[in-house]
Amino acid sequence: MPALAPPRPAAQRRRSWGYTAVPRWIYAVAAVGALFILLPLMGMVSQVKWGQFLALISSESSLAALLLSLKTATASTSLCIIFGVPLALVLARAQFVGQRVLRALILLPLVVPPVVGGLALLYTFGRQGLLGQSLQVLGIEIAFSTAAVVMAQTFVALPFLVLSLEGTLRTAGQKYEAVAATLGARPSTVLRRITLPLVLPGLVSGAVLAFARSLGEFGATLTFAGSLQGVTRTLPLEIYLQRETDPEAAVALSFLLIAVAAVVVTVTYRVPKSPLRALLAGPAS
C-alpha cells in the first residue's frame, strides 16, 4: 500500500553501497534467463490487435469465461485458505507419526501433471468414482459442474498456500505464542490474536499464489469439469478453444489473462513489511 506509506526522503530511497559477492558474469547469465521469460511475453503482446482489442475480449463467450474464471478462482482461493491454514499449522507446529509423508503427499499436486490430477478427481468424485457413486445416490453430481472447476483449482492451488504459510510459521517460531499462553490466552485466542497476525504476510502471498494458480488452471479442469460455456469453460479453456477458430481473439484473451496475473503477482511484492522483520530490524532510537 504505497499510498499509505509515509514519503521517504530521497537519500533513504537510494541504496547505499555495500559489498556483494556476485561475480560479473552471473549478471550475463541472469539476463539470458530473464529474457527467456520476457521475450515470449513480448512476442505475444506484439501480436495483439489493439484496434479490435475491446471487441475481441467482450464477446459473449469471452466475457462468460472471464467472469467464470474470476468467480471460481476466488472460490477456490477461499477454500485454499479455509483448509490450507489448518494444514500448514498442523505441518509446522504439531508432531506426529507420518508427518513427513503427509507433507510430501500434500505437495504432490505441485509435481503431478494437472491432467493426472483431473483424472484422480474424476475417479474419486465422478459418476463411477470412489465417492461419486454414493454422492449420486444422494442426488449430488459434481463432475462437469462449476463445483468441479472449483475443486480442480483447489486441488492444484492448495500446496502453494500450504507451502508458503508453513515456511512463514516456522520462521515466526513459537516464542510469542508461548508468551501469550502464559498471559492466560487459550489456544484459539493465541491463534486469532498472535499467530495469524504475525504470519499474515505469508498468508497473503500464499493466497495470491493460490489465486494465480487457480486462474491459470487448465488440465485438471478440462479433465474433471469439461468445457461447457458459462458453466465450466474458464478463460484458459476459452483461449485454447478460440486458438482453433479465432487466433486474434485467443491472443487478446491471453493478454488479458497475463494482465490479470501480472497485477496479482505485483500485489505479492507490495505486501506490507512483516511485523516480525520490522522487529528484527532493531529498535528505532
Partner 1 sequence: MTLEFRAALAARTMDVSLTVGPTETVAVMGPNGAGKSSVLQVLAGLLKPDSGHATLDGRSLFELSPGTTWLPPHARGLGVLAQDPLLFPHLSVLDNVAFGPRSQGLGKVASREAARHWLGEVGAMELSSRLPAQLSGGQAQRVALARALATDPELLLLDEPMAALDVNHAPFLRSLLKRVLAGRRAIIVTHSVLDALLLADRIVVMDGGRIVESGTTSTVLAHPRSAFAASLAGLNVLQGTLNGPSLLMDDGVLVTGRPSSVPPVPPSVGGQDGMAAFPPSSVSVFLTPPHGSPRNVFKVRVTELEPHGDHIRVRAARLSADISAAATAELALEPGSEVFFVVKAAEVVLYPA
Catalog residues that contact partner 1 under the rule CB under 8 A: 175-176, 178-187, 189-190, 193-194, 197-198, 275-276, 278-279, 281-285
Residue 179: CB minimum distance to partner 1, A? 5
Query: Measured from the CB atom, is 85 or 149 closer to partner 1?
Result: 85
Whose Cβ is closer to partner 1: residue 178's or residue 263's? 178
The sign of the CA dihedral 107, 111, 117, 123 is negative
Q: Which of 9, 283 has the CB closer to partner 1?
A: 283
The least CB distance from residue 203 to partner 1, in Å, is 13
Minimum distance, C-beta of residue 205 to partner 1, in the bound complex (Å): 17
Q: Which of 142, 169, 158, 147 is nearest to 105 (CA)?
A: 158
* In the complex, minimum distance from the CB of residue 5 to partner 1, in angstroms, rounded to a whole number: 15
Q: Which is nearer to partner 1, 139 or 282 (CB)?
A: 282
- Complex with partner 1: residue 189 or 266, whichever CB lies closer: 189
Which of residues 16 and 182 has its CB atom nearest to partner 1 in the complex?
182
Whole-number Cα distances in Å, 74 to 102, 103, 137, 153: 26, 25, 30, 10
Nearest approach, Cβ of 276 to partner 1 (angstroms)?
6
**How many other CB atoms sit within 10 Å of the CB of residue 206?**
30
Task: Show the DSSP H helices in 126-246 as ranges.
Answer: 132-137, 146-172, 175-182, 187-190, 196-215, 219-225, 235-245
Q: Cα-flanking dihedrals φ and ψ of residue 102, to 5°? A: -60, -45
Question: Least distance (Å) from partner 1 to the CB of residue 83?
Answer: 25
Is 188 within 8 Å of 142 (Cβ atoms)? Answer: no
Residue 233 in grid coordinates: 469453460
Q: Are 5 and 13 in contact (CB under 8 A)?
A: no
